[in-house]
Structure formats: structure tokens, C-alpha cells
């Protein structure tokens, strides 16, 4: 098997930053996942990152994730062992050795959690994921659109409790896993969507872990060279800068295991006199400028600190922060009717259609 590259503990710094950019404000604090992954790699050795095409068609591939409200995760640092417990329990249940680890969600904490399992198990990690970003519910993966069942799935907590779920739909898996996660204290570890190599090749969003790594490196190197980190990230992602402003107010609450709310911004510099609003359910899902809807899920909306280019989560939004909003198109799989059904604005309760990215944002980089 050809290895793309070996991932060492220090490489996780870039990957975690890139994961926070693709996290679109949600997906949990990448700092936690980074620490877990670094600890596992220092103990067990580097992770072998492979292209999805390196998988045998009959290989058994299993994604891993943390589940829960990001605000809770930051208070409950999980041990790497729990992820391995979920993984091994699923292996036992399936009665078959797993051949490779996959990333469920290449955004936020879950861009790094698969490295824990890959390091501890010695298994290769596939360079790709099931979202190309972060999303709040577990059925919101490209795997669902390819008919892959989330179950058999194992869900573990930090106390030693575990569940094996077998359900009639991925939406039911989300409901039952969410209820268990809330009961377990707000976060849990999952091994789910067991699939063949053949299916992974069709379903996975490719290259997202490498993309995370490149994004983190670009940010780091641009800062070291006293360049413009926001511009460098926008260029790399082919993203549009849709606002530059200060946080004016934030409305945030935790509902049913989700961090929901909205944030409003007053423009500065080229956007002075303009207003901007983001709605989030863990992730930033909708952006409005001067009262007009501009971007909707599944396209990605990311906030970067104006000076440092560091990504900012919905959790860490504070009054007065000066931020730049970027948007860039989602993986094309999300733009199919099935994709829009799973993660479009209506699923999240917004009474609008998906706004195709190019129509709204193609010519809006600067209006002043």
C-alpha cells in the first residue's frame, strides 16, 4: 500500500487549524482533538495517511467521530482510549478486522480524532471524510446519500458505558445517539458507517485531511512572512470575502444538545456602514448582509480574525471581535437534490431555498 505521507505529532498543529477553518464555526474545539492525537502519535508512532484509491474494494473502513455540543466538549476532555474502545467494540460486533480508519467530519475536533484511532491501532487513515466541512447531525454525511447505514454503530462515554445501535434509518440513529449523548453528559465517541473500500471510493469527500494540513501551513507560513493570512486562505480555498466587521451582539443557547443562535456584525473599513448577520446551529449555516440573504448551507461560511487569520468558532464569538467572513462552495455531492434534502436550509428550519454560491457571491468580493 502506497502511503501519501506519515503524519507526526507536530503535523497536527496545521491539521487542527485547517480543521477549524473547514469547521465553519462548529465541530468543537480542535485544540482538544489535537492534544488527543498528538498524545496517541507520541505513544504509538506516526499515522500512515493514504489516498482512498489505495483501499481494496473489499476492505472494511470505519469512520470515527466525537458527538455532542462543542460547549460541553471543551469542559470534558476525552481520553483517547474511549475512541479505541468504540472502534474495537464495533470490530467485535462485526466479527471482522477493520482495515482502515476514515474521518467522519473534517471540521473542528473531528478532523483530528481519527488520528487517535489510526495511531493507536496502527491502521492507515484515509485522506478524506464524509462532509468536507462540519455539520451538527450524524446522518449529514455523503455516506448517507450512497445508502450506507450508520449502524451497526458503537457509542461510548468517558465512564465506560457503551451502546451498539442497529436502526432502521440514519435519522433514527441520530435521534437515539443524540438522546444517549445528552444523558452521558453531553459528549460521546462514535465508530459508525462501516463500509467497504469500494463504497468509500465513491462516497468520501476526497483529500480533506491534506487540505486541512495545507490550510494550517499556509496560515503559519504567511504569518511568518508578514503576509496577509486572510487573503492567503481565501486564495487557497477560492473563497470570497463577504464581510469585514466587529461583533455587535450574539444570541446563543444550548437546545437539545446543539449550540444555536445568531451573531450580528457592524462593518469596518471597506464594509463600513454595512451590517452582517450569521445564523448557527453549531456551524454557521446562513449569512445575511444588509438584510439580504447571501449564503446558505451547504456552502461554507468561515470567520477568521482579521489580523491573525485564525479561525473563530461560534462558541468563541465575543462582543467587539474584528473578523472577516469567507464563503466557498461545498463539495458538489451536497448540491444534488438528495444533498439539499439532508443539509439544505429547509432541513434546519429556515424557510428559504438553497442559494447557489456563484449567483450570489461571484461578483461581490468588494461592493465599495
Residues that bind a second copy (CB under 8 A): 89, 93, 159-168, 172, 175-176, 178-180, 182-184
User: Considering Cα of 194, then 199, then 205, then 208, what sign does the dihedral take?
Assistant: positive
* Phi, psi for 160 (deg, rounded to 5): 110, 5
Q: Rounded to the nearest whole angstrom, what is the least distance from the CB of residue 173 to a second copy in the complex?
A: 8
CB closer to a second copy out of 185 and 261: 185
Q: Rounded to the nearest whole angstrom, what is the least distance from the CB of residue 181 to a second copy in the complex?
A: 9
Cross-strand pairs, 280: 261, 284
CB closer to a second copy out of 160 and 273: 160
The CA distance from 185 to 100, in Å, is 30
C-beta separation of 303 from 325 below 8 A: yes
Q: Rounded to the nearest whole angstrom, what is the least distance from the CB of residue 151 to a second copy in the complex?
A: 9
Q: What count of residues does the chain have?
A: 368
| Ramachandran class of 182: left when φ > 0, alpha when ψ lies in -120 to 50, beta otherwise | alpha
Longest Cα separation, the chain: 62
The CA distance from 278 to 321, in Å, is 14
The secondary element (H helix, E strand) that includes residue 230 is helix 229-237
* β pairing state of 195-196 and 60-68: antiparallel
Amino acid at each position: 500500500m502506497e502511503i501519501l505521507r506519515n503524519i507526526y505529532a507536530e503535523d497536527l498543529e496545521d491539521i487542527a487549524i485547517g480543521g477549524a477553518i473547514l469547521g465553519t464555526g462548529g465541530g468543537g474545539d480542535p485544540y482538544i482533538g489535537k492534544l488527543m492525537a498528538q498524545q496517541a502519535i507520541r505513544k504509538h508512532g506516526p499515522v500512515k495517511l493514504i489516498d482512498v484509491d489505495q483501499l481494496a474494494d473489499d476492505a472494511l473502513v470505519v469512520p470515527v467521530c466525537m458527538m455532542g455540543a462543542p460547549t460541553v466538549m471543551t469542559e470534558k476532555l476525552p481520553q483517547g482510549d474511549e475512541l479505541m474502545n468504540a472502534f474495537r467494540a464495533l470490530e467485535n460486533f462485526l466479527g471482522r478486522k477493520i482495515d482502515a480508519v476514515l474521518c467522519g467530519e473534517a471540521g473542528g475536533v473531528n478532523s483530528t480524532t481519527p488520528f487517535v484511532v489510526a495511531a493507536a491501532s496502527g491502521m492507515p487513515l484515509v485522506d478524506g471524510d464524509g462532509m468536507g466541512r462540519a455539520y451538527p447531525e450524524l446522518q449529514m454525511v455523503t455516506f448517507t446519500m450512497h445508502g450506507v447505514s450508520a449502524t451497526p454503530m458503537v457509542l461510548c462515554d468517558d465512564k465506560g458505558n457503551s451502546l451498539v445501535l442497529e436502526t432502521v434509518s440514519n435519522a433514527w440513529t441520530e435521534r437515539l445517539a443524540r438522546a444517549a449523548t445528552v444523558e452521558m453528559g453531553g459528549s460521546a465517541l462514535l465508530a459508525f458507517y462501516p463500509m467497504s473500500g469500494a463504497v468509500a471510493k465513491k462516497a468520501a469527500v476526497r483529500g480533506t485531511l491534506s487540505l486541512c494540513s495545507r490550510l494550517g501551513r499556509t496560515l503559519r507560513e504567511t504569518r511568518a512572512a508578514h503576509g496577509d493570512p486572510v487573503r492567503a486562505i481565501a486564495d487557497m480555498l477560492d473563497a470570497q470575502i463577504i464581510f469585514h466587521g466587529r461583533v455587535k451582539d450574539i444570541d446563543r443557547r444550548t437546545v437539545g444538545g446543539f449550540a444555536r443562535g445568531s451573531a450580528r456584525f457592524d462593518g469596518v473599513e471597506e464594509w463600513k456602514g454595512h451590517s452582517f448577520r450569521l445564523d448557527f446551529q453549531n456551524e454557521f449555516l446562513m449569512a445575511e448582509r444588509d438584510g439580504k440573504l447571501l449564503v446558505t448551507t451547504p456552502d461554507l461560511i468561515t470567520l477568521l480574525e482579521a489580523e491573525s487569520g485564525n479561525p473563530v468558532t461560534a462558541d468563541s464569538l465575543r462582543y467587539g471581535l474584528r473578523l472577516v467572513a469567507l464563503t466557498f462552495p461545498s463539495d458538489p455531492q451536497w448540491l444534488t437534490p438528495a444533498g439539499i434534502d439532508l443539509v439544505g436550509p429547509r432541513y434546519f428550519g429556515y424557510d428559504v431555498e438553497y442559494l447557489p454560491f456563484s449567483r450570489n457571491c461571484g461578483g461581490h468580493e468588494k461592493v465599495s
